[in-house]
Amino acid sequence: MKLGFFTQPVHPIDRDYREVLKEDQDAVILADELGYCEAFVGEHMTDLAEPITSCMIFLATLIEKTKQIKLGTGVINMPSYHPVHVAAQVAMMDHLLDGRLIMGIGPGGLPSDIEVFGNLDLDKNEKMVEAIDQVLAIWSGEAPYNLEGKHYKTSTERTLFPEIGQGIVKQPLQQPHPPIVFTALAPYSKGITAAAERGWTGVSSNYVQDHWVATHLPKFLEGQRNAGLPEDPSLWRIAKSIMVCDDGDDAAAYARSEDGPYGFYYSNLMKKVARGRGAQGLALFKSHPDQPDEEVSVRHSLDTQVIAGDVDSVVEQILAHREIVGPYGTLMYTGHDWADIPLARRSMELMATEVMPKVNAALGE
Q: Are 16 and 49 in contact (CB under 8 A)?
A: no
pLDDT at res. 277: 74
The mean pLDDT value of the chain amounts to 97
pTM of the model: 0.97
pLDDT at res. 126: 97
Write out pLDDT tens, residues 116-166.
999 999 999 999 999 999 999 999 999 999 999 999 999 999 999 999 999
Tell me how far apart the alpha carbons of residues 308 and 249 are, in angstroms, rounded to a whole number.
9
2-74+179-250+306-363 belongs to which CATH class? alpha beta
Write out pLDDT tens, residues 259-286.
999 999 999 999 998 887 766 788 999 9
Write out pLDDT tens, residues 30-55.
999 999 999 999 999 999 999 999 99
Write out pLDDT tens, residues 223-236.
999 999 999 999 99
pLDDT at res. 279: 65
Q: Where are the beta strands (DSSP E) in 245-321?
A: 306-309
Which DSSP letter does residue 113 get? H
Tell me how far apart the alpha carbons of residues 340 and 209 are, in angstroms, rounded to a whole number.
26
3-class state of residue 92 by DSSP = helix
- Other CB atoms within a 10 A radius of the CB of residue 343 amount to 19
Break the chain into its structural domains and give their ranges: 2-74+179-250+306-363
Q: Would the pLDDT of 14 be above 90?
A: yes
Q: Where are the beta strands (DSSP E) in 153-287?
A: 153-154, 180-184, 201-204, 237-244
Question: What CA–CA distances, in Å, run from 309 to 176, 249, 351?
Answer: 43, 7, 11
Write out pLDDT tens, residues 188-226.
999 999 999 999 999 999 999 999 999 999 999 999 999
Write out pLDDT tens, residues 300-348.
999 999 999 999 999 999 999 999 999 999 999 999 999 999 999 999 9
Question: What CA–CA distances, in Å, run from 271 to 42, 71, 213?
Answer: 18, 29, 21
